[in-house]
Amino acid sequence: MPAGAIVYDPAYRDHETGDHIESKSRIEAIMERIREDVRARRVQILEPFRAALDQVGANHDVQYIASVRRLAEAGGGWLDLDTYCSPKSYEVSLLAVGGVICAVDAVMADVHNVMAIVRPPGHHAVWNKAMGFCIFNNVACAAKYAISSKEIERVLIVDWDVHHGNGTQASFYGDSRVLYMSTHQRPFYPGTGDFEEVGSGEGEGFTVNLPLPPGVNDDGFFYAYDRLFIPIAQQFDPELTFVSAGQDIHYADPIGGMLATSNAFRGLTERVKSVTPQGQVIACLEGGYDLQALADSTLTICGSLFDFPTQVDEGHVNSGISKHVSDRVERAIKVQSKYWEV
């Protein structure tokens, strides 16, 4: 199987947000770091396409989509208190969705794993409104595309962003074809993602939430994955896996309150790869707002996806598993044991 690929287009910078913390400097820092690494810069770059309206409409209300377009064409403005729409944001948002759909096409053909470096991010966007810097839900739209167009029956979505992906959870809350698994800080924005949010109807048991306290380090995240996420994912046996890759669990992030290092993201990616050994893993950029930490962490994700060595030298290392973490993992196991062998 051919080597992996990165989805990127300079047009993602055209979602102009001024001095907003979710700015074009994020992807500029990532791409600069990739170009600096002799192995990363050899990875194939896939050019994304703009998603068709029906591809976005599979996950979003058509009236909401039209309202984003009208606001952009009118010169832009605020979609909500956190999410800005510039004159080109509508087109760039279609390109972001299309970028992750492009990644689906690639891994379902002959490409081994993809890193989608897209913006604006997506996992907070719900059916009929923008939230938390997100306009359209890139991963949710792409997952629905995979199910409808690629005859995929089991999609895994792993979300390690520091914020709960409320939009993605809502998209599949009643759907047994999609297993959504999220570690996130709680209490924290957007306030969703409690233990007992497990899905409904046919989707009951196919949402796995692990709300964590602030201050979780590498060992804590690895413990959570090894004890809870990996056993459940192995039983689900995904045909395609998405990662909502928010690097705002890094200790340097100005928004989050976690203690993960850049090297933790390689370990997390390795764990996700272990449950999708066919190489059909798509990591999609979500949060992460310290530019150096974001760039280094994304590089370590790429190193895992594309099998080249990475090691970021960081002075900050906090080891050990706190009782606060192990207690929450055990509580999640108790909730999920109704549905899975954990």
Residues in the chain: 342
Residue 43 in contact with residue 5, Cβ under 8 Å? yes
CA torsion angle 293 112 267 297 (round to 10)? 0
Cα 57 from chain centroid?
Answer: 20
Catalytic member of 124, 164, 184, 250: 124
Strands 77-78 and 84-85: antiparallel
Token pair listed for 243: 């990662």
Question: CB atoms < 10 A from the CB of 266, how many?
Answer: 22
Q: How many CB atoms lie within 10 A of CB 196?
A: 8
Burial class of residue 67, CB neighbours in 10 A (0-12, 13-18, 19+): middle
**123 in catalytic set:** no
Q: How far does Cα 71 stand from its chain's mean position?
A: 26
Q: What share of the chain is helix, strand, coil (3-state, %, to 5)?
A: 40, 15, 45
Instruction: Give the catalytic positions in this structure.
Output: 124
